[in-house]
Structure 1
Amino acid sequence: MLGVLDLDVRPGEGLGIFEIGASLWTVLDVLRGQQHIFPQVDVKYDPESTTGLTPIVLHLRPHLDLLFSGKHQRLHTICVRRLRDAAPPLVLQYRDKVLSAKDEVLRRVDVSRTFGPTYQGEDLRYPGLWFSFEDDGVGEALGKGKAAEDRMQEVKRIFISQTNDDGQPRDALDEVVECAAMHGDVERAVARVHEGVTLYFHPAEKPPIHIRLGQTTAQDLVVDLGPPLRTHFKEDDRMRIHSTRKAPECDEEPSYFYNYFRHGIDFLISGQTHLVEKIVLHTNIPGSPLFQRYKRCNWEIEGTPEDDEDDTPPRKRFYDRFETISHFLSPREPPPSMLLDRTDDEDGLTLPSSASHPGDQVYGYDGIVLEVSEASQVLSVMLF
């Protein structure tokens, strides 16, 4: 039997273990270790989106809905619902004061006593906090004006989110403003073909890190990024058949991967020189085979400036369609593609569109490889 779900309310900052601004990858990773508390998590998104910018909602039955922004996949808004549902019982606290519990009904007058006066309206809105007196799906024509005068009106839903400078809640489609939950994360990754990648971090004052192909060492990565979450030796050599390079000797030290899942980046490191050979940037598209294995990396591919005085070189970003990025990399026709069906190696993996999903396509260019979905979304970028 599930125990009591006891959560503290922090206006504009979070609820319980959930921090506004936390990444989708981080939250789902935490939930994997909390299955005894949250046994069922539904991931909802727009499967028709072709840009990868669809907002994502995590529904934690029966009490919580977590809305993540479409671009950076950051926790934007927390909705608490079904406050009186006893499976499991929910206790909400604010500064050590119980707001709502199984036997403590939260009413309009209780909100006013706890949080003080606020602007007149059907709902009670405070900076970073919003109390609604409607159940999900309730329509407009319910005589709200009369209900708003009822001091004993029961709170049905509570929303927690960031606010704008004027104290008003941010639009649901806005991105989350930089906050403490983001500190240490990669804000964006600027990739340059044949060179490497520059990583920019939160907070913005932190200096960027330049990782260069054939120059940056494994030790440099550990110093700059910390130890990887996983290190494994490269065992899959099926692509070697397409390589024009001479096969290595049998006693050559194998290359190995540093997997930085929390940054959405992999590094392939030479077993001989211990220098970075390849860099893989992951887009974390919902519904794709690698969804949620890596955090979204907000990558950009930078082109060559038009002249020496051009300080804004052209760039293509992760949400641009494959056709646009392909033309950017090579104005000619796209190169021949190869089929990559990741479900072949995962016996238990099924996709939302697996019945008609023929697999992803891999396109190779000079110094860069794109993995592309059936919907023309670039799932990952590999620099070599």
Structure 2
Amino acid sequence: MATARDSPASVFPGRALGFLTLGASLHHVLTRLKSLPEMYTALELIYDSSQPLHQPVIIRLPENGLRLRFDGPDQRLRLIEVLDFSKNALVYKTQEIAKASKSPSDPPASGPGFRHIYNRLFGPTYPGEYIPPAAGETHGIYVLSYPGVAFSFTLLHSAWSEKRDFVSLMSSSAASFAVSMAIFQGSSWSDAQSQLYTRQPQYPRSSALMGKNKESVADEVELVKVHEGGHIELMRRSSNPFSIILGETTPQDLITELGPPDAIYRKSDSRILIHGEGEKNPHGASNGGGNLPTPPTDPSDPDPHFESALTDESEEDSAPTAHQESGPLSSDCFYNYFSHGFDILVAPSSSSDRRSPGSPTREPSATGGTSELTATKILLHGNVPGSYPFNRHRRCRWVLEVGSSQASITSETAYEEISPKLKERWRGSYSSPTEEASFQRGMVLNRGWGETPGSSIELLGSWEENSTARNKPSAGSGMTNSLGNTELYGFPGLLFEVLKNGSVNCLTVY
């Protein structure tokens, strides 16, 4: 069985450690790590449960001596840290940086020495940064920095002097072997620290876009702009924006611009259809097929427009057919784009009002009763740590452009800030106060009673330094039961799935 001790990992300063590449998405890295259970036997996800989209997210690999830091809003890898050289065999070009212990029972292997780094690996560099010890401690930390990579050494504080040549100081017995290594984007560690989580990543979210055949891989979506009238604009990394017009954009358009879907999900969910049935729906619209009916006029009736949030995921028992690009579809289906962070419902176009202000009126199809298949709904996933569907999709960032609002609404905005802005925007757009109340009344959705996705991740719901509760899931469970409940809130053309901490876990545009 291959392990990290047997397979040396190449160090690429400012870029990567093995397959771990700076700028890679949290979803991509976790998926890759989980595909190698014999090498990465334990994974810990550390995040701030109250602000999971604003504070960094950390993956810790305790059996591999690694720690990976991601920014919160975009969930992209910003810092790779080697904390235990004895658990990693590392090479730079043809030179060995550190030699891992052959087995856990062997004496720990030490990290590289200053002379080895300075003379054989990276050569001369500028003086590093000395961090004095805390009160009562005898050793400080000396950080030796090169472009894109830095090493930390413990240094006897009594030997430190700003006037002393750092090469002779670090070559003396007062300095230890390197105790850690960091890979980052920047000319030096001091330069990288100030922009660690805000600097634009140089490399893409997926390693597939770095290969020689990247022209065959669809360009990644950087941001989704949601306009009124069912107009969604996808801003891409290196290509022109691609616009999706709900009710007009065809499956062929989607595949041409976004590539074939990662999966196609056809299983229909009828758990909430009862809320759209009965005589109280004046328009008699059907709740199937993703064409959302007019909310009921009786405020005591639950809201049928919440149905969309129940059909946003592919499941193992649905036997999805991937990469089906042509031919008529037997039923409405979702195109699952896990790598882009969204799902798109493909269904017969409808002449019914789409409810979003500014939506054009559609004429009924004149093709013998057969409507053309078009994109009718898009679900933008937040991939919020701690949420039930975490890591099914990579995070999709969006901005909601409604009216002439001066304050922007983004995927990082808490729902308590979003709600009053949208209420003001669409005030007077409803047929009655009852209809307005029916849209904006929250409905609780429990995802924790079904079969949870398999996971080997240990979830730590707070900072690594302050964590008091470590909720380790049971076998076969991805999350704890308390993480399943979310609330759904609707506005014309929009549906928000909101977690208990106020984060928007999914935005549905229809």
With the length of structure 2 as denominator, give the TM-score of the two structures.
Answer: 0.66
Aligned to 2:145: 125
Alignment partner for residue 282 of structure 1, among 378, 381, 385? Answer: 381
Residue of structure 1 in register with 2:160 after alignment: 145
1:322 pairs with 2:415:
yes
In 1, are the aligned partners of 2:445 and 2:487 still within 8 Å (CA)? yes
TM superposition shift of 1:173: 5.1
Segment drifting more, 96-105 vs 6-15? 96-105
CA contact (8 A) 1:283 1:380 kept: yes
Does 2:244 match 1:211? yes
Instruction: Give the corresponding residue for 1:137.
Output: none
**Match for 2:124: what amino acid?**
P
Select between 120-129 and 148-157 the one with higher mean Cα deviation: 148-157
Once the two structures are superposed, what CA deviation does each residue of 1:202-240 show, in whole Å capped at 9, x if it has no partner?
13xx20000110000111100000001010114113333
Structure 2 counterpart of 1:310: none
Q: Once the 2 structures are TM-superposed, how far is the Cα of residue 54 of structure 1 from its aligned partner? A: 2.1
- Change in CA separation of 1:129 and 1:242 when aligned onto 2, cut-off 3 Å: same
Secondary structure class of the residue paired with 2:336 = strand
Q: Which of residues 417, 436, 444 in structure 2 aligns to 1:339?
A: 444
Tell which deviates more after alignment, 236-245 or 122-131: 236-245
**Cα separation, 2, equivalents of 1:249 and 1:264:** 24
Map of 1:257 onto structure 2:
334
In structure 2, relative to structure 1, the CA distance for the partners of 1:170 and 1:300 (3 Å cut) is: same
Residues 214-363 of structure 1 aligned to structure 2 (within 5 Å): 214-243=247-276, 244=281, 245-247=284-286, 253-270=330-347, 272-305=371-404, 315-331=408-424, 335-346=440-451, 349=477, 351-352=479-480, 354-355=481-482, 359-363=485-489
Give the deviation of 1:150 after TM superposition.
3.8
Report how far residue 273 of structure 1 moved: 2.4
* DSSP 3-state at the match of 2:37: coil
2:123 corresponds, among 116, 129, 132, to 116
Give distance in 2, aligned partners of 1:66 and 1:127. 19
Task: Please list every run of 5 or more consecutive structure 2 residues that lacks an aligned counterpart in the other structure.
Answer: 101-108, 129-141, 210-218, 290-328, 349-370, 428-436, 453-475
Whether contact under 8 Å (1:21, 1:176) holds in the other structure is no
Q: Alpha carbons of 1:319 and 1:164: their partners in 2 closer, same or farther (altered >3 Å)?
A: farther
Instruction: Give the structure 2 partner of residue 169 of structure 1.
Output: 192
Instruction: Sort the Cα spacing of 1:166 and 1:54 in 2 relative to 1 into closer, same or farther, 3 A.
Output: closer
Structure 1 alignment gaps of length 5 or more: 135-139, 307-312
Output the aligned Cα RMSD. 2.8
For residues 335 and 105 of structure 1, the distance between their equivalents in structure 2, rounded to whole angstroms, comes to 58
Residue 304 (structure 1) shift: 2.0
Q: Is the 8 A contact 1:234 1:254 kept in 2?
A: no
Matched residue, 1:58: 59
Q: 1:209 to 1:314 in 2, by over 3 A?
A: farther
**Quick check: 1:76–1:175 contact (8 Å CA) kept in 2?**
no
Match for residue 95 of structure 1? 93
The question of whether the paired residues in 2 share the 8 Å contact of 1:74 and 1:176 is answered with: no
2:110–2:177 contact (8 Å) kept in structure 1: no
The letter of the residue matching 2:423 is: S
Q: Which amino acid aligns with 1:330?
A: K
Choose from 359, 366, 381 the match for 2:492: 366
Amino acid at match of 2:220: D
The share of aligned pairs that are identical, in percent, is 29
Q: Distance in 1 between matches of 2:187 and 2:111?
A: 30
* Equivalent residues of 2:334, 2:343 under 8 A apart: yes
CA distance in 2, matches of 1:249, 1:319: 31
* Partner Cα separation in structure 1 for residue 346 and residue 23 of structure 2: 32
Partner of residue 197 from structure 1, selected from 224, 227, 232: 232
Using a 3 Å threshold, how does the CA distance of structure 1 residues 247 and 380 change in structure 2: closer, same or farther? Answer: same
Kept in 2: contact 1:132–1:156 (CA 8 A): yes
Q: Deviations over 1:254-300 (max 9, x none)?
A: 21000001111000110552101111001111101111111110111
What corresponds to 2:502 in structure 1? 376
Aligned match of 1:48: 50
Greater C-alpha radius of gyration = 2
Distance 2:259 2:70 in 1: 27
Aligned pair in 2 of structure 1 residues 164, 108: CA closer, same or farther (>3 Å)?
Answer: closer
Find the aligned partners of 2:189 and 2:156 in 1 and give their Cα distance.
Answer: 29
Provide the rounded CA distance (Å) in 1 between the counterparts of 2:180 and 2:69: 15
2:105 equivalent to 1:70? no
- Number of matched residues? 363
- Give 1:109's aligned amino acid: R
State the one-letter code of the partner of 1:115.
Answer: F
After alignment, is 93-102 or 277-286 more displaced?
A: 93-102
The CA deviation at 1:31 is: 1.1
**In 1, distance between residues paired with 2:287 and 2:85?**
63
Relative distance call for 1:239 and 1:218 in structure 2 (3 A) is farther
Report the alpha carbon displacement of residue 325 of structure 1 after superposing the two structures with TM: 1.1
Per the TM alignment, residue 185 of structure 1 is displaced from its structure 2 partner at its CA by 1.9
1:358 shift after superposition: 7.2
Normalised TM-score (structure 1): 0.86
Q: Distance in 1 between matches of 2:14 and 2:53?
A: 27
In the TM superposition, residue 168 of structure 1 has moved relative to its aligned partner by 2.2
- Secondary structure, aligned partner of 1:328: helix
